[in-house]
C-alpha cells in the first residue's frame, strides 16, 4: 500500500499498481477524467509535489502536448502507484461544473 496525499485532503492508502486517477476517485475526490483514460483530455492531470513516479511515456507526452503542461503535469490515468505520493489535482468536477467522465479501466 502507498500513502497518497492530495493537497487539501486527508491522506489515504492506495494499493500498489492501481492507477492513480482511480485511487484518487475512490478516495472520494472528484477528479476529472473526461476521456476515460485514453490520453485525449488531460483533465486528469496532477502536479507531483513529492514522491517518485515512473518516467513519462511518449504517448503520455503526446497526450499532454503543450510544453507548459509536459513540464508541470502528469496524467494520473497513466500512473500506476508504486510508492507514497503528494499531488495537486488540477481539475475537479465540482469546480468545473461538469461530470467527471467515464471511469478509466483498471
Q: What is d(CA 97, CA 82) in angstroms, rounded to the nearest whole number?
A: 31
Residue where the block lists cell 485532503: 9
Residue 20 vs residues 16, 63, 97: alpha-carbon distances, Å: 10, 17, 22
Residue 53 cell numbers, joined: 513516479
Q: Could you tell me which stretch among 10-18, 41-49, 65-73, 80-88 binds ligand FES (CB under 6 A)?
A: 41-49
Q: What string marks each residue from 63 to 82 as x (binds ligand FES by CB under 6 A) or -?
A: x-----------x-x-----
**Cβ distance to ligand FES smaller for residue 10 or 35:** 35
Matching residue, cell 500513502: 3
Give me the least distance between CB of 52 and ligand FES, in Å please.
Answer: 20
Q: Which spans of this chain sit near ligand FES (rule: CB under 6 A)?
A: 33-35, 37-44, 63, 75, 77, 104
Amino acid at each position: 500500500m502507498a500513502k497518497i496525499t492530495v493537497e487539501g485532503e486527508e491522506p489515504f492508502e492506495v494499493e500498489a499498481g492501481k492507477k492513480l486517477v482511480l485511487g484518487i476517485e475512490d478516495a472520494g475526490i472528484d477528479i476529472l477524467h473526461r476521456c476515460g483514460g485514453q490520453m485525449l483530455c488531460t483533465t486528469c492531470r496532477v502536479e507531483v509535489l513529492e514522491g517518485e513516479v515512473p518516467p513519462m511515456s511518449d504517448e503520455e507526452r503526446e497526450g499532454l502536448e503543450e510544453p507548459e503542461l509536459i513540464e508541470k503535469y502528469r496524467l494520473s490515468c497513466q500512473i500506476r502507484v508504486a510508492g507514497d505520493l503528494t499531488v495537486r489535482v488540477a481539475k475537479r468536477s465540482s469546480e468545473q461544473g461538469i461530470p467527471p467522465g467515464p471511469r478509466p479501466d483498471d
